[in-house]
Amino acid sequence: MAVDLNGIGRGQVNTQKTSTEKSPAQSTQQAAPEPSKAQATRGDSVSLSSQAKNLKQLEQGLDSFPEMDDERIEAIKAALADGSYKIDAEKLAQKMLDMDQSIFG
């Protein structure tokens, strides 16, 4: 069974030459010179911007807060169970408009 993917026939797939099939000129060009001792011992350095440092501090500060407010969740569950939970339609509508504004501008 022959496979033809967008004009690529069976003989055209994986046509890379092996090292024994390459010409001698190609093999000498690919050999990289050995790095000198000065280059080998030189270390790389990274410098973070002040904005990146501030973001890292903010991230660490947010990690100290819980993902969910368990007390608030329990209070809402209790209010739903006893029927005392009231929804402020105007506040809900305003929050929806604010979210839409923040997303779509």
Q: How confident is the chain (105 residues) per 10-residue block, as mean pLDDT?
A: 57 54 51 56 79 88 84 94 94 96 90
* One-letter identity of residue 92: L
Q: What pLDDT was estimated at residue 27?
A: 47
Q: How far apart are CA 14 and CA 21, in angstroms?
A: 14
Cα 31 to chain centroid distance, Å, stands at: 35
Q: Answer whether residue 70 is part of any domain.
A: yes
The pLDDT score that the predictor gives to residue 83 is 94
Q: What residues make up the domain containing 70? A: 50-104
Q: Please, where are the H alpha helices in the chain?
A: 24-30, 37-41, 50-63, 70-82, 89-104
Q: What is the pLDDT of residue 77?
A: 95
Quick one: pLDDT at residue 7? 58
How many angstroms separate the first and last alpha carbons of the chain? 55
Q: pLDDT value at position 30?
A: 53
> What pLDDT score does 50 carry?
87
CA distance 98 to 39: 56
23 occurs within a structural domain = no
Tell me whether residue 8 is in a domain. Answer: no
Rounded Cα–Cα distance for residues 23 and 2 (Å): 31
Domain count of the fold of the chain:
1
